[in-house]
Structures are given as structure tokens and as C-alpha cells.
Structure 1
Amino acid sequence: MRNSGSRALWKIVSSPEQSDLVKYLERHEPLATVVSDRLRRFPLDRRLHGGGRVHFRENCGAVYQGPGGFFAPFFSGYSPEDLHAQAALRRNFGAFLRPRTIMGAEAHVEALTALLGANPRTWVNYDLLSLSPPDYPRRMPAPRDISIVRPRPDQWRSLLQLQIAYEIEEVLLPGTRPAPEHSKTSLIDSLTCQRVLVAVCQGDVIGRVATNARGMGTDQIGGVYTVPSWRGRGIARLLMTHLLADLAREGRRASLFVKKDNTAARRLYDGLHFSFVSPYRISYYR
């Protein structure tokens, strides 16, 4: 780990196995799940060519800085009034101060936005929710004509249109068009590195659910999507209970973030006993 000028200030982590950081992220999940996932899955790269770097201040916070943006789970020890610490963190960022996105708890995204001095083009507000294994609902039995399947990475072609439809409805900003090659890459990565379940009826995929970040002890769920003609029949709830049953066997916590105006999703997660953790935000810069 390289010292940034003071033992009490922000440092750039040089090893993903750095024990203080791992313990710190584990304590602060689900807010830190995305950072934990990046630390586990991607190489650390000071030049930000193929990986990211983690800025860490013990008992204060951690920020993952990647080629595409920042994941910013500041915690209780972080103070925007601590100008000395802020200066150390900004120096660590170096010349890479034009992010595509910043995501994290709303207050922490706002703090990092102020530190960078760059106003976002737009942002989307969510609520971060979580659920622990003792409160997981029972796995619902699937109707006789529906199968719950865990697809393999080589089956991506049968799922690509579902992936694109999900991105258009839940991920992309209004007026933004999907890029099929990007959708393909994202889908294959998900099938390879995440836990994905799909509901199949008479050979047609009618819904899916997946994790999109796997932390130290928490799995963040995303990609919950049901094709329009099957909505209102409990497919999303069916898939969620099967995924949560898988996570329960491993003793892992679940989290997700949901748009504030998505009333249908909120009814689903309320019914599954998810509880509120924090306002959450993704800010977009370009």
C-alpha cells in the first residue's frame, strides 16, 4: 500500500488481499458490495487501463476508481469538512477526473461529486434494500409448465434479446439506444461470473433474475425482468424465491436497489421482506 502523505489519510491499495480493506468492506456491505465485487473480480491497475484502483482510509471509507467511473461507499468516518483528507483523496485520483458514472449511497455520491468539481449530466435515484437469510421467504414451487433453469455461458444467444429488452426498460437512460455488442459482453460476463436463473415455458424464456455483484458476504441482485405478456402472474416472485434459496444455502445476504417510482417492483420486494438501507444514486456524466 502506498502512503498518501499521512498515515491517517487516503491510500491507494496495492494488493486485493489487503486484510484491513477486506474486513472493512465486509463490515459495510451491502453499501460496499459493488466495491467488494470489483476487488474480487478485476485486477488492480494504477494506470486504469484494464482494471481499477481502490482508495482506502482506515475506519473512514473506500472508493473504487475504474476506467468507467467511481463506486463511492464513504462511511461514517468520512467528513466533507476534513479538507486535508479531501486533498489527499483527490491527489490519489490523479488525472482521471472525468468519470462516466458515479454510484453509491446518495449522500456519498454528492460528496464525491463536489470533490471532483464536475456536475453530472443527469442522475437516477433509487432505494437500496437488503435481506438477511433468517428472513428469506420459502422457495415457491414452479407450475408444471414452467421450469427454473440456470443457463450456461454458451447459451447466451437464447437470452440476448431478453438482455436488450431489460437494458432498454431498466438500465439505459431515455433516448439512449442499446449497443448489441455491449449487451452480449455484459450477458456473457453475467452468465460466467454471476448467478443467473431463468423461467422457461414451452421452450420460451419468460423471465430472469440475476446477481450483478458478489461481495464478501452479500450478493446484489439485478436484472429482474419478466416479458410483458407474462407480467402479473408471479414470475418475478417465483424466480426471486429460487435465487434467495440458493443464497440461503451459502448463508449470504441479499441486496438490491430499486427506482423510487417503480411501484410494481416495490410491491414485490416488500412482499419478500426486503428492508430499506439507504437512498442510492447513479450519476451520469457522458
Structure 2
Amino acid sequence: MPWFAARTPLALSRVEEFVRSNEWSCASVGAQLRQRTPLDMLKRHTHFEYFTLDGQQGPVLAINMENSFGFRYPVLSETAISAGAAMELGGRSPTSGRRSMTVMGREQAVCGVEASVRLTFGREPKYRVEYYLMTRQAGSVVEGRSRVAEQCRFLRADARHTDRLLAMQIAYEEEEVVVDGRRVDPQATRFHLRDDLREQLVYFATHDGRAVAKAGTNARGFTYDQIGGVYTEPALRGHGISTALMQVLLNSITEYKKNAVLFVKKPNKSAIAVYDRLGFETRDSFVISYYQ
């Protein structure tokens, strides 16, 4: 099956062209290509491959981003899915036999990889989390604020705010990220939070001088910024703070002439309602499968 390693600048430029046209579904892949040189990606143990039906120089119909730590992100066109590209990817890729592996992407692509891993290695994901993938075209947000939100201050965060926001980040990861009951490592969380505050657009809300909510980007692609880490203290949920904070973040993203994308867990009806009001549109189902 025609998968080819993208090892040269020319091959990576072909991968980039495909990603740009599909970035609404893979902003974090776009961010890797936009921010990293080929040497950077080699140092980070990240590699790309691409799929064609017409030889190595044929039109790119799918790509796969993968690293040596077992993370995989396939991005497939409908033509590639019909041609069985995902099945081939799961059956022969070096990480497929790893004890620990994570596969994420649009549902059709992930399902194809899962089916191939099942057939070839007899393995099933230990955890499988389903989301809606939602996008919003660039444009300012004008929406009235609730009484409680009017009492808040909304501030741009940077690395100086790491310790001020750390407790909320840990709570967010425990609530939304950890899937196997393990505890969050505060030191690792602090390290990654500090990096995000240096590189990403992150805003937080204060109420009575205390940080109570946060939201930001976690990947900045070519034309899409991916939003993540949206969290409000439980006692203040339902008072419009998250909506107002997202409004501030979206207006900032629009200043960079970027579209916005996020994925939200399917049972999270309250968050979905907020994103609907802010102009997001559900585009597809998104899945993260964890093999252990």
C-alpha cells in the first residue's frame, strides 16, 4: 500500500500542503509543521508519512504524524479511507505493537486504525474517548455578559502567571484529561503550563481578586488555532464566566486572522451549548484511543 516517509524538505512541503487544506481537523499537526524545522522534528522524535494512489509523486491523499513515544495522528481524505489507507497504517506501523499507544483524529480514520490493530495484533484500546469536533470562522464576538461575569476581570496570561494558574490546570487535567485514574504529576503539569503560557494565547478570569477560570489555545496552526484547557471553578459554573472568557479569547484569535477549532466530549451538553452560542459548528466526530 502506497505510504511513503516524508524525509526531505520537498516531501514535507507536500505534507504541509495537504495539512493546510484539512487543518480544521488537525490544527495540532499544522502547528508542528509551522513551528518546527525538519531538524527540530527529528530531535523531538516526530516523523511524517504520506499516502498516494499514483506513485511517490502522486497527489497526497492522507498523512500520518507519529512519534517514538507511541502517539499517532492520521489525517485521511475520503478517497484514502475508501482505499484502506487507515487499515494499512495500523497493520504495519512500528508503534502498532507498542504496549502504550495513543491514536487520535477524525472518527473514520481512528476506526480504521483500530480495526487494523485488532486484526493484526489482537489488541483493543483500553480507553476510548469520543468528542465533537467544532469549528468557528474568524470574526469578532459581541455578546452581553452576565452580572457575575461583569464583576470579573479578564487578563492575558504569560509565564509569570504559572503558579497562579497551576491549581486550575491540575484540576482541569484531573477532570478532562486523565483517563485511567492516575494522579496528575504537578511538576510535569507546571513545566508544560509554563511553556504554554510562553507560546500560546491564554486568558484567565479573576473574581474578587482570585483566578477562577481559564481558556486558551493549545496549538497554533497555519489558519486555525485550537482551543483547549477551558476550565471554570465548579462553584462558579453556570454564571456566564466561561462564555465571557471565550469571547475574549476568540476576539484575540480573530486579531491574528485565524479560525478556531476545538473538540468537546459528547456528554458535555453545557459546554456544547456555550460553543453553539459563540458561533461554533459541529463538523465531525473526533476520537482519542488509548492502548496500554
What TM-score bracket applies, with the shorter chain setting the length?
0.7 to 0.9
Amino acid of the structure 1 residue aligned with 2:130: N
Q: Is the 8 A contact 1:247 1:254 kept in 2?
A: yes
Q: Is the 8 A contact 1:16 1:39 kept in 2?
A: no
State how far apart, in whole Å, the 1-side matches of 2:72 and 2:41 are: 15
Q: Is the 8 A contact 2:127 2:179 kept in 1?
A: no
Q: Is the 8 A contact 1:139 1:242 kept in 2?
A: no
Q: In the superposition, relative to structure 1, how do residues 108 and 27 fare at CA in structure 2: closer, same or farther (>3 Å)?
A: same
How much does 1:41 deviate? 3.7
How much does 1:79 deviate? 3.5
Per-residue displacement from partner, 1:163-186 (whole Å, max 9, x unpaired)?
A: 000111111115222111221122
Tell me which of 4, 23, 41 is aligned to 1:11: 4
State how far apart, in whole Å, the 1-side matches of 2:115 and 2:130 are: 17
Per-residue displacement from partner, 1:206-236 (whole Å, max 9, x unpaired)?
A: 1000111111100111111001121111111
Q: Does 1:72 align with 2:78?
A: no
Q: Is the 8 A contact 1:133 1:248 kept in 2?
A: yes
Q: Is the 8 A contact 2:16 2:33 kept in 1?
A: no
Q: Does 1:30 align with 2:30?
A: no
Helix, strand or coil at the partner of 2:81: coil
How much does 1:32 deviate? 1.9
Amino acid of the structure 1 residue aligned with 2:78: S
Q: Is the 8 A contact 1:43 1:51 kept in 2?
A: no
State how far apart, in whole Å, the 1-side matches of 2:180 and 2:162 are: 26
Q: Does 1:276 align with 2:282?
A: yes
Amino acid of the structure 1 residue aligned with 2:47: R
Tell me which of 121, 130, 137 is aligned to 1:125: 130
How much does 1:87 deviate? 4.9
What are the equivalent positions in structure 2 for 1:1-286 lying under 5 Å apart? 9-15=2-8, 18-42=12-36, 44=38, 50-57=44-51, 58-66=59-67, 67-79=69-81, 81-82=83-84, 87=88, 91=92, 93-94=93-94, 97-98=97-98, 99-116=100-117, 117=120, 118-134=123-139, 136-138=140-142, 145-173=151-179, 175-286=181-292
Deviates more, 1:246-255 or 1:40-49: 40-49
How much does 1:113 deviate? 2.0
Between the two proteins, the alignment pairs up a number of residues equal to 276
| Large movers: runs of 4+ above 4 Å | 42-49, 80-83, 85-91, 139-144
Helix, strand or coil at the partner of 1:176: coil
Helix, strand or coil at the partner of 1:19: helix
Q: Is the 8 A contact 2:219 2:227 kept in 1?
A: yes
Q: Percent identity?
A: 29
Q: Is the 8 A contact 2:218 2:228 kept in 1?
A: yes
Name the TM-score, length of structure 2 as normaliser.
0.84
Deviates more, 1:43-52 or 1:195-204: 43-52
Q: In the superposition, relative to structure 1, how do residues 207 and 15 fare at CA in structure 2: closer, same or farther (>3 Å)?
A: farther
Amino acid of the structure 2 residue aligned with 1:181: Q
Structure 1 unpaired stretches of 5+: 1-5
State how far apart, in whole Å, the 1-side matches of 2:88 and 2:102 are: 21
How much does 1:13 deviate? 1.6
Name the TM-score, length of structure 1 as normaliser.
0.86
Structure holding more helix per residue: 2
State how far apart, in whole Å, the 2-side matches of 1:68 and 1:90 are: 14
State how far apart, in whole Å, the 2-side matches of 1:165 and 1:124 are: 19
Structure 2 unpaired stretches of 5+: 52-58
Amino acid of the structure 2 residue aligned with 1:222: G
Deviates more, 1:218-227 or 1:149-158: 149-158
State how far apart, in whole Å, the 1-side matches of 2:283 and 2:157 are: 31
Deviates more, 1:106-115 or 1:9-18: 9-18
Q: In the superposition, relative to structure 1, how do residues 106 and 224 fare at CA in structure 2: closer, same or farther (>3 Å)?
A: same
Q: Is the 8 A contact 2:218 2:226 kept in 1?
A: yes
Amino acid of the structure 2 residue aligned with 1:32: C
Helix, strand or coil at the partner of 2:263: strand
How much does 1:46 deviate? 11
Amino acid of the structure 2 residue aligned with 1:63: N
How much does 1:145 deviate? 3.8
State how far apart, in whole Å, the 2-side matches of 1:221 and 1:180 are: 22
State how far apart, in whole Å, the 2-side matches of 1:152 and 1:215 are: 20
Residue in structure 2 matched with residue 3 of structure 1 by the alignment = none
